[in-house]
Amino acid sequence: MLKISVSGVRGIANESLTPGVCLDFAKAAGTYFGGGTVLLGNDTRESSEFIKGIVMQGLLSCGCRIIDLGIVPTPTIGFMIRKLKADGGLMITASHNPKEWNGLKFMRSDGIFLNQSQGEDLIGIYNSKGFIERSGGSVKVFKRGGDDHIKKILGTVNRLRIRSKRFKVVLDSVNGAGSIITPVLLRKLGCRVVEINTDTRSPFPHGAEPTPENLTQLAEMVVAENADIGFAQDPDADRLALVTDDGKAISEEYTLALCAKHILEKSLSGKKIVVANLSTTRAIDDIVKEFGGIVLRTKVGEVHVAEAVKSEKALIGGEGNGGIIYPKIGYNRDSLTGIALILEYMAADGRPISEIANSIPEYHSAKKKKECRSIEEAEIFVEKVKEHFSKETLDTTEGIKVLFKDAWIHVRPSNTEPIIRVIAEARTAEEAQRLAESILKI
């Protein structure tokens, strides 16, 4: 199945994601970027280098000047687009999907993914095959992208304070794009690094998504090594999950919550704005309220959060899937920035990460999905949910979010397939499960 959305295209390599699809999407991107300078990077999937060759052909046919960054995290491309003043970028990755999948993600000149309107324009070019044809294209290999990204991060946090702690860190990069750059960052921060799953030749040794059930090896190694913390990345290193010093793999929701609390504590003046999507934990609201700040909620999707962080000059933003967007570095979800901020928080606070995490308000979530016969039927179902909860407080930014005193339910139709996504959060796992299941009975 080929999944086409405004942020990119994904499919099983050489099945739904065929060479022809990759070539035409590359031509569409080259046309959309006006044959200008385009940065190119990839994760470690077996199909990525093959797809990169096809993508280069498509971009060159449009006269693009390609700067190939090699194997790099997605946020490195976003950062380098701005640094090199490129017209856009393209990342070859299927993010957290299994290794037989691959995909293309498109970024504009500010390093942010294409938004709804821009994505539709690119898809329109792809469907119409109205590609420009120009000569003069070129390819330049640029190997310093990761170094420049690291340098920027090191200049943004208190490097000396972190180095003084000599933290022992276990890193699991799932043999993905973070495998090369992340150990370098950690050692420059003075950490004693224990690497597992940082071999780019063997993706992926366990489930690619950095969720607790996929981090048993990391949790065991943190305990065995008596480490201060464990960090887990996804294949394109835009998401970050944590294992505490007592060997507990905690929810990805804690990544943004911890980083936001740390940034708010550092912020001495000005507007204290934090941006999160509608499905991110309410712990963010509790934390921001403590500091007299404001939480802005957006539709689900990195681009919505990124654009709000930029336009509202927020201190930080992100999503509950472990994605941190810190504007002092850039406008992409960035696991490397998240790592540096967490280590800075630990160095400043002095307590073990397990104790710091326990200070975050605890909520539990449950996720469900409901299949429908069509996208139209899914939209009708959302209207039924709205009627059912008409006497409650509702947020209609995207789908329906029902707000209770200590809980919420978010119901939204998928943009790409006829299903309803349901996520509920409450103080107990049992209540969250009950709320999520109650939607399916409507």
pLDDT tens-place string over residues 137-184: 999 999 999 999 999 999 999 999 999 999 999 999 999 999 999 999
pLDDT by residue (tens digit) across 57-73?
Answer: 999 999 999 999 999 99
Question: Does the structure show a pLDDT above 90 at 415?
Answer: no
Do residues 291 and 408 share a domain? Answer: no
Tokens of 431: 């209540």
**What is the spatial distance between Cα 98 and Cα 207, in angstroms, rounded to a whole number?**
7
Do residues 122 and 53 share a domain? Answer: yes
Tell me which of 243, 278, 298 is where a domain ends. Answer: 243
Pairing of strands 400-403, 408-413: antiparallel
Give a yes or no: residue 57 inside a domain.
Answer: yes
Say which CATH number the domain at 369 has: 3.30.310.50
Sheet harboring 273-277: ordered strands across?
294-298, 273-277, 316-319, 323-325
| pLDDT value for 418 | 83
How sure is the predictor about 414, in pLDDT bands with cuts at 50, 70 and 90? confident
Q: What are the residues facing 273 on neighbouring strands?
A: 294
Query: Which DSSP string do the residues of 271-329 spell out, in sequence order?
Result: --EEEEETTS-THHHHHHHHTT-EEEEE-SSHHHHHHHHHHHT-SEEEETTTEEE-TTT
Tell me which of 143, 174, 208 is where a domain ends. Answer: 143
- Residue 117, number of CB atoms within 10 A of its CB: 8
Say which CATH number the domain at 232 has: 3.40.120.10
Amino acid at residue number 10? R
Question: Does the structure show a pLDDT above 80 at 438?
Answer: yes
Give a yes or no: residue 162 inside a domain.
Answer: yes
Q: By three-state DSSP, how is residue 429 classified?
A: helix
Tell me which of 143, 178, 204 is where a domain ends. Answer: 143
pLDDT by residue (tens digit) across 393-404?
Answer: 999 999 999 999
Question: Does the structure show a pLDDT above 90 at 5?
Answer: no
Indicate yes or no: pTM above 0.85: yes
Do residues 297 and 398 share a domain? Answer: no
Do residues 163 and 102 share a domain? Answer: no
Q: What are the residues facing 318 on neighbouring strands?
A: 276, 324
Residues marked active site are found at 95
Do residues 188 and 291 share a domain? Answer: no
* Main-chain dihedrals φ then ψ at residue 139, nearest 5 degrees: -130, 130
Residue pair 62/131 in contact (Cβ under 8 Å)? The answer is yes
Handedness of CA 350, 295, 363, 319 (dihedral sign): negative
| pLDDT value for 241 | 98
Residue pair 273/317 in contact (Cβ under 8 Å)? The answer is no
Question: Does the structure show a pLDDT above 90 at 240?
Answer: yes
How sure is the predictor about 254, in pLDDT bands with cuts at 50, 70 and 90? very high
Nearest C-alpha neighbor of 71 from the set 173, 216, 224, 170: 173
How sure is the predictor about 322, in pLDDT bands with cuts at 50, 70 and 90? very high
**What is the spatial distance between Cα 252 and Cα 280, in angstroms, rounded to a whole number?**
10
Do residues 213 and 261 share a domain? Answer: no
Do residues 295 and 168 share a domain? Answer: no
Give the mean model confidence (pLDDT) for residues 336-341. 98
Tokens of 7: 């942020």
Question: Does the structure show a pLDDT above 90 at 196?
Answer: yes
Nearest C-alpha neighbor of 363 from the set 419, 316, 423, 314: 423
Task: Give, in order, the Cα–Cα distances in Å from 384 to each of 222, 320, 321, 368, 433.
Answer: 47, 27, 28, 17, 20
Question: Does the structure show a pLDDT above 80 at 417?
Answer: no
| pLDDT value for 10 | 94
Structural domain total, the chain: 4
| pLDDT value for 209 | 93
Do residues 62 and 159 share a domain? Answer: no
Nearest C-alpha neighbor of 400 from the set 416, 417, 376, 384: 384
Tokens of 233: 């990345």
Give the mean model confidence (pLDDT) for residues 348-373. 95
| pLDDT value for 375 | 82
Do residues 9 and 123 share a domain? Answer: yes
Do residues 45 and 67 share a domain? Answer: yes
Question: Does the structure show a pLDDT above 70 at 192?
Answer: yes
Phi-psi region of 301 (alpha: psi -120 to 50; beta: other; left: phi over 0): left
Question: Does the structure show a pLDDT above 70 at 33?
Answer: yes
Residue pair 10/45 in contact (Cβ under 8 Å)? The answer is no
Tokens of 379: 């939209």
Question: Does the structure show a pLDDT above 80 at 100?
Answer: yes
Q: What is the 3-state secondary structure (H, E, C) of 24-69?
A: HHHHHHHHHCCCCEEEEEECCCCCHHHHHHHHHHHHHHECCEEEEE
Nearest C-alpha neighbor of 87 from the set 103, 52, 63: 63
How sure is the predictor about 416, in pLDDT bands with cuts at 50, 70 and 90? low
Range of the domain at 44: 3-143
Amino acid at residue number 370? K
Do residues 258 and 299 share a domain? Answer: yes
**What is the spatial distance between Cα 317 and Cα 196, in angstroms, rounded to a whole number?**
29
Do residues 275 and 341 share a domain? Answer: yes
Give a yes or no: residue 248 inside a domain.
Answer: no
Give the mean model confidence (pLDDT) for residues 314-325. 96
Question: Does the structure show a pLDDT above 70 at 75?
Answer: yes
Say which DSSP state 91 is in.
Answer: E
